Amino acid sequence: MQPPHRRGANRRRYRTAVLGASAGGGIPDGAGRPLRVVTGIVLDASPHLLVLGAPGGGETRVAMSDATAVWHGGRTGLAALRPGRPAIVRLKATGDAGGGGYGADRVWLGISRVTGTILACGRDSVDVDMGPHRGRTRVAIPPNALERVLVRHPRLEPGYLIDVICVGSPDGPRAVRPGTSQPGYRADDLAAPEVTAPVPEVLRGTATWFGGADERGTDVPDPADGAAYPAVDPEGDAGGCADAPSGCVAFPYLSIGSEIVVHNECGGRAAAVPVVECGCAAARFCDRCADCDATPRGRIVELTPAAFAGLGGDLESGCFNAAVRPVGTAGRAVSW
């Protein structure tokens, strides 16, 4: 099977051939470009240089500074940059070296996210079904994080949804803080929009991220930009789940490889990202993000950590207010 990016390019070629070229790219006027993000395993670190092992082999060297913020279960210092830890690094232009240099702005170490339906609750752990594509996992919730999680997840019981930011540990993901507030309904009790509800030209709601470091916190996070979209068609080779809920937003059906423009309405950055996964888990969340302003309800897209950070999102805060547009279906440049 072709990778989503390659498949998406082929499908765009086919679509353009049969429907014609689109007039617009879908990036809103005035939107900023995404920031550069690199991922890798920490090989070496010093106060001035971070060396990452790239996913495909080779090394990536990133300049560090006093202003570089490091996260490993919370704000921490450079001492956390131990070899072997997976890192996501957001870069910013440093302005030195002739104005063309980049340095590390934010470094997230071993960060991951567990989002899904609670299957069982133990004394200090929760079993979570993350959807058919992501499987199940057990997330540990240590006492120091439990209070914070409970504040925004008051129904920590089977059948309800959970969304927590975690840090990798040898025993699996360890929750450090809630990702978003828990919806008040049971996971299978989602209110769908009316079947006749029209599809808005621009979907507005919450953008979150998915994945990150693996369960043990040893693998490299996905370096590519991509999105898990809640309404991937289940027929043919589109890649959707047959039993995915319809979500609480009037989503148009898309497929793996389709491109969407995600606009961070808080930070002002926008980028076209391919759909790389069915966002069955996101479809169950009819929640809001209050990053800069209250969004309409509905989790409209989940991004890979690289795409989320590149659009200006802070991985530990979990969401930003987003607008999602189509990337010009031919003949209908700004509609689905």
Residue number with CB closer to another protein (116 or 326) = 326
Interior CA angle at 302 toward 261 and 324, to 5°? 25
Q: At its nearest, how many Å lie between another protein and the CB of residue 259?
A: 9
Choose, by CB under 8 A, the member of 156, 199, 202, 241 that binds another protein: 199
Residue number with CB closer to another protein (163 or 287) = 287
From CA 128, how far away is CA 215, in angstroms rounded? 13
Choose, by CB under 8 A, the member of 3, 5, 17, 132 that binds another protein: 17
Q: Which residues share a beta bridge with 254?
A: 232
From CA 37, how far away is CA 107, in angstroms rounded? 10
Choose, by CB under 8 A, the member of 9, 16, 28, 36 that binds another protein: 16
Cβ neighbours of residue 14 closer than 8 Å, sequence gap 6 or more: none
Choose, by CB under 8 A, the member of 28, 54, 150, 336 that binds another protein: 336
Choose, by CB under 8 A, the member of 9, 15, 63, 333 that binds another protein: 15
Of 179, 37, 43, 173, the residue nearest 111 (C-alpha): 173
From CA 103, how far away is CA 264, in angstroms rounded? 22
Residues 56-115 that bind another protein (CB under 8 A): none
From CA 299, how far away is CA 180, in angstroms rounded? 11
DSSP 8-state code for residue 80: G
Residues 212-251 that bind another protein (CB under 8 A): 231, 233, 235-239, 246, 248, 250-251
| Cβ(322)–Cβ(204) below 8 Å | yes
Task: Indicate whether 204 belongs to the interface with another protein (CB under 8 A).
Answer: no
Task: Indicate whether 1 belongs to the interface with another protein (CB under 8 A).
Answer: no
Binding site for another protein (CB under 8 A): 7, 10-11, 13-20, 184-186, 189-199, 231, 233, 235-239, 246, 248, 250-258, 286, 296-297, 326, 329, 335-336
